[in-house]
Chain A
Amino acid sequence: MYRRLLINIYQVRHGFIHTQNTRLPSTKCKERESFAPVIWAPCTARPLGTSSISFNENKESSTSLSEDKEKRPEENEAKEEVNTDGQKSTEMNECTEISNATLASQLETETVDRPEDSKQVEKTKSGKESLLELLGAMKVEVTTVRKIRPSKTPRMSARADQEPMESTHSMFQHATAEGSQQHGTLNPALVAAVSAAASTLPNRHQAESELLKQLRKHEAVPDTQRRADGQNIGHIIADMKVGRRTNGRSNASPTSHIRFDDDGKGYTQDRGITGELDAVRRRRSPFTSKRLNIFTAGMEQDTLSDLGPTLWDIDLANQIVQATNQTPRNGFEEMIQWTKDGKLWQYPINNEAGLEEEASVPFHEHVFLEKHLDESFPRQGPVRHFMELVITGLAKNHQLTVQQKKEHIDWFRDYFRQKDDVLKEAEA
């Protein structure tokens, strides 16, 4: 049976591809892909009547196990029929949808369709046993939800694209109990808003499609998730199968309920206790374990008088430096080392590097040195002339600091003072 199911899926998928090609370049195509085998089973794989039933059986098992556990397998069989009926009705729905899609803007027919669809389901349901009503009611609930919504949303051209697929989509989604509710509820509102916004603009269709494109981008993440689910459908079916086998025809117990993961992970029993323990262990890192509770966190330290680095601190720094690799890896790192040593000109290059003490001395102190010649030198004569030459030279000297220049002049002052008598003799 399992193999048959798989074959069915493959055929269905192929069928789906064809239909997809012939049908809509719809925005929702990708989204639907995940549910394609289920949705299109009745539509494209029509000759495979039995296989579609087997599909239903599986769907049934999942719903029965997850939703209403008290149901008996015998009743499942009965329900299958109901479901196939329901599916036939949806087939019809699909067909109308196709026409809808091609017409794209004929909304009225669509809304007419919808109640019909639900009515059909109800009709088939009314003929069956009362126990089955539970399932039926669920379906009706789903469809009624869908039924109400279109009336709320403003009828725009965008909705024509979205809605028909939305409805069947979400219906089967609920029927197979693997879809997410919020996706169905979120989208029409958004679409409505989009079309409302678009209607305010002159170029309505273009703006709308642009906005929808933007929306689709936001939906890309859940879309991909769902696609992954779709890829896992084989697993899901396989798991369902095993679940049925092991449980046989007995009551679906709560434990078997656990085995079916909604998120497509499927059968989880194999992982067992060890796996769970692993997870627990992983969650609790030893680094977040309890502490010794000796110190209090906000403790303040009595500040000791710091006398700069002691011998011990220097030794520690040395040990660290020695232990680690300090060799430069490239020329630049070597240059960094040299810069730190003070062997290299510092970047950014500054022509006044090393002249820090001169930085505060204004230039005129360097250049105008006449004020130092005042009292102790003669006002005129060869000494004065000589000294003027000296200060001219000093003014142009950029090697000496102002202090050194002063000292230079002072030296001459002393010198001429010592030679005072000689000078006087010479000049008289």
Chain B
Amino acid sequence: MDQSQLAMVVPRRYLLSEPPSAPVMASSCSQALRHHVCKSSRILRIHLQKSYRSFALNSAADQQPAVSSPEEIVIPKKKTWSKEAVLQALASAVKRDPTASDSRFQDDPYLTPKTSSEFKLFSLSQESGRNAAKYFINTYPKYFQKDYAQPHIPCLMPETLEAQIEEASEAALIERIRMRKVKAAVDLYDQLLQAGTSVSLDVTNQLLDLICFCGDHDPAQENVPEQRNEETEDVQDEPQAKKGRAPKASGLLKATWKENNNAERIFALLSEPNTHSYSALIRGMVKYGAYSKAFSTYTDLLNNRLKADVQTFNALIIAAPEVKEKYNEKWELIVDLLKQMAEQKVKPNLLTLNAVLKALRRCGTLGKSQAFPVISEMKALSIDPSLASYNHLLTIFYKTGATIQGQTDILQEVMNEVSGKSFTAQDPDDAQFFITAMRICLDTKDMEQAYRVHELLGVGENWRLLGNDFQQNIYYARFFSLLCMMENIDVMLKWYRDLVPSVYYPSSNIMRDLLQALDTDNRLDLIPQIWKDIKQLGHANRQNLVEELLILMAREKHNQEVQESFAECALDIKKIYDTGDRGKVLLSWTAGSLSDLISVLLAAHRRQDAWEMLKLFKTHNRVPSEELLNRFLTCVKEAGEVNQAVELVQISAGFCLPETPKLIQRVQQEFELTEQQRNMLSDLEIQTFNSD
């Protein structure tokens, strides 16, 4: 460093008032500059502290010395964020918009679903489009070799579905196992054995796993698009697994464990089967329904002085209720298995707990007494129950269809346990909890708990555990029928506006419940609004729903404004009756619906429209009621339309109603008739008299 520059800079630190950004001579090198800034900033800091202290002393209330000492600033360590951290923060800031549809449909407003069937159709077609693309890529990989992406994106590239290694070797066997080609793998294994090549125990165990998992069947060919149009979830590391799913679900029912299948054969070939081999075999047997065989295999395992692993025990606990008849025998077997676990020093896991609870569902009253001790036991082993455990617990205590007496506490206790917690999925049954809990709320008519359940759904990632769209529908349907039953209409409508149709498309039954709730709370004036929703939700073609709506509208007198809106609504309904869908008539007029509609129109003084409607009785071969005609006549009288009154009587006579003479009498008395009309009426009178 230049001496002169240093000399210039150093004196500056004695100038306390010098700001840190004071101009330094342009010639000073960067080092000198840094030195200067450092010094002056330190001086400034000391100065500030001094003034702070004197300030602190001045304020008498605070006797404590200033805590901050001239410590070095600790620069925090660099934090490495996960690659999703930014997005997660952003995503957590987005709240659900009750006026918008699901985010899946926001790309194209034309494809915004309005009804539940549209929702299903659109969401599935989106998925199936993806699957179709994947199918083509995988079927014709040679056309999709060009890799545009930089960096490389493996999941966009075609998967290799054909075995690459041809010669018979252990590597080829591993490859076939990885590709879940059961038959090919078994064949190759046999070839290897015949050739005298020994296969290592690990690989054999993997092969056993594969055979037992698939039940000695090749998983149905996954490249069939129509079987895969359910939602694909991305498990990137194992794309094969998801493909085997749809066929597996259907195949599970048919496939059974066959006597001496390849798994048993290969197992018998093993000179020294280990725990893994036994585990694979037992789990396969349990999966494919060979329960007693699984237990005898387990006895074999014990005879060979081996220990079972936790998965084996889980499988056996699942199988336990199948092999015993009586409730107490089932339970004893489970307890026995648990004791053996403890003996063999196998630590149970959450799935053990859930398996036991699931088995207890089939143990009758024993379940109620043993469920809580089981949970306590697992808690003592610091296994926290998942939602599936609570689901099993609730199912144990609340049987469907059974009358519930004094069991309400259990739901409350469960809610006390779970409320406010965020759960992650650990068990496939986790997704059952919410619909079970809501069912119980509906059964017990417990609005308070229902709110708690719904609140729990909003905590953290719990919404994921509500399950797929189908389950969501069940859940919300239960929630809504409970709301319709128990809540007053304002609260009900608040929920309705919040959830419909952005997350839930109510069925026509729920809409009927809603109408009844409106009726109970005397808020029939909301019917026109609800009718709009009904129309939008695609329930306008439900005869009973529409008729119910008409009955409610026609039943009582309302003020003029409401009647006016009712009349608009009624005309709208009439349109639905008239048009039909693609020439097919969806709704057919009944006498009741016609007369309800006419009385709604009459109440709103829409005589002309009502008159048009009255003619429909004739065209649809329906008979109007006397009451309706009387009401009509009153209305006609108010308007003073003599001609129409006479015509009305003629219509009535046309239907040969017994009321006709009275109507004639009324017309004769109440209207000023011309001579011609008078004659006509007396003619009619004679006619009806004769017909009688």
Shortest CB distance A43–B (Å): 39
Partner of A287, one of B91, B245, B376: B376
Residues of chain A lying within 8 A (CB to CB) of residue B341: 294-295
Residues of chain B lying within 8 A (CB to CB) of residue A319: 428
**A323→B234 contact, CB < 8 A:** no
Given A318-B241, A324-B465, residue A332 in contact with residue B376 (CB < 8 A): no
Residues of chain A lying within 8 A (CB to CB) of residue B154: 342
- Stretch of A303-311, A375-383, A408-416 at the chain-chain interface: A303-311
Residues of chain B lying within 8 A (CB to CB) of residue A274: none
Assembly CA distance A322 to B231 (angstroms): 8
Q: Check B65 for interface membership: any CB of A closer than 8 A.
A: no
Q: Check B189 for interface membership: any CB of A closer than 8 A.
A: no
Give the residue name and chain of the B residue nearest to A337 (CB).
B234
Q: Check A21 for interface membership: any CB of B closer than 8 A.
A: no
Q: Fill in one digit per residue for B427-456: 1 if any A CB lies within 8 Å of its CB, else 0.
A: 111110000000000000000000000000
**B231→A299 contact, CB < 8 A:** no
Partner of B88, one of A320, A322, A323, A336: A336
Q: Check B299 for interface membership: any CB of A closer than 8 A.
A: no
Give the residue name and chain of the B residue nearest to A300 (CB).
B345
Given A312-B213, A343-B153, residue A324 in contact with residue B430 (CB < 8 A): yes
**A295→B372 contact, CB < 8 A:** no
Q: By the criterion of a CB under 8 Å from any partner CB, how many residues of chain B are at the interface? A: 84
Given A314-B241, A323-B430, residue A334 in contact with residue B103 (CB < 8 A): yes
Q: Fill in one digit per residue for A276-300: 1 if any B CB lies within 8 Å of its CB, else 0.
A: 0000010001111111111111011
Q: Check B85 for interface membership: any CB of A closer than 8 A.
A: yes
Residues of chain A lying within 8 A (CB to CB) of residue B242: 318, 322
Residues of chain B lying within 8 A (CB to CB) of residue A307: 202
Residues of chain A lying within 8 A (CB to CB) of residue B335: 292, 294
Q: Check A151 for interface membership: any CB of B closer than 8 A.
A: no
Residues of chain A lying within 8 A (CB to CB) of residue B206: 310-311
Shortest CB distance A109–B (Å): 33
- Stretch of A31-39, A70-78, A345-353 at the chain-chain interface: A345-353
Assembly CA distance A201 to B102 (angstroms): 67
Assembly CA distance A347 to B103 (angstroms): 22
Q: Check A327 for interface membership: any CB of B closer than 8 A.
A: yes
Residues of chain A lying within 8 A (CB to CB) of residue B210: 311
Q: Check A186 for interface membership: any CB of B closer than 8 A.
A: no
Given A332-B94, A337-B234, residue A297 in contact with residue B381 (CB < 8 A): yes
**B347→A299 contact, CB < 8 A:** yes
- Stretch of B408-416, B523-531, B619-627 at the chain-chain interface: B408-416
A-B contact count (CB 8 A): 194
Q: Check A1 for interface membership: any CB of B closer than 8 A.
A: no
**A301→B83 contact, CB < 8 A:** no
Among the interface residues A315, A341, A348, A355, which one has the most CB atoms of the partner chain B within 10 A? A315
**A323→B431 contact, CB < 8 A:** yes
**B413→A326 contact, CB < 8 A:** no
**B381→A299 contact, CB < 8 A:** yes
**B155→A342 contact, CB < 8 A:** yes
Partner of B430, one of A293, A294, A304, A320: A320
Assembly CA distance A307 to B206 (angstroms): 10
Assembly CA distance A62 to B347 (angstroms): 62
**B209→A310 contact, CB < 8 A:** yes
Residues of chain A lying within 8 A (CB to CB) of residue B431: 323-325
**A295→B202 contact, CB < 8 A:** no
Residues of chain B lying within 8 A (CB to CB) of residue A342: 153-155, 236
Given A311-B210, A314-B238, A323-B425, residue A329 in contact with residue B372 (CB < 8 A): no
Shortest CB distance B659–A (Å): 60
Residues of chain B lying within 8 A (CB to CB) of residue A323: 425, 428-431, 467-468
Residues of chain A lying within 8 A (CB to CB) of residue B102: 327
Q: Check A339 for interface membership: any CB of B closer than 8 A.
A: yes
Partner of A290, one of B238, B376, B463, B466: B376
Residues of chain B lying within 8 A (CB to CB) of residue A302: 307, 345-346
Q: Check B631 for interface membership: any CB of A closer than 8 A.
A: no
Assembly CA distance A299 to B202 (angstroms): 28
Partner of B377, one of A291, A314, A326, A346: A291
Given A312-B209, A320-B428, A322-B428, residue A291 in contact with residue B467 (CB < 8 A): no
Give the residue name and chain of the B residue nearest to A210 (CB).
B61
Assembly CA distance A332 to B377 (angstroms): 41
Shortest CB distance B130–A (Å): 12
Q: Check A207 for interface membership: any CB of B closer than 8 A.
A: yes
Q: Check B72 for interface membership: any CB of A closer than 8 A.
A: no
**B84→A331 contact, CB < 8 A:** no
Given A287-B379, A297-B380, A318-B233; 12 other pairs, CB 8 A cutoff: A291-B377, A294-B338, A299-B381, A304-B275, A323-B429, A324-B431, A324-B465, A329-B94, A330-B91, A341-B234, A342-B155, A347-B85
A-B contact pairs, 10 of them (CB 8 A): A207-B61, A292-B370, A300-B345, A302-B345, A314-B235, A315-B241, A322-B428, A325-B463, A327-B104, A331-B103
Task: List the 6 closest A-B pairs by CB distance, nearest first.
Answer: A354-B151, A332-B91, A291-B376, A346-B83, A347-B86, A301-B347
| Interface of A toward B, CB cutoff 8 Å | 201-202, 207, 210, 281, 285-297, 299-302, 304, 307, 310-312, 314-337, 339-343, 346-348, 353-355
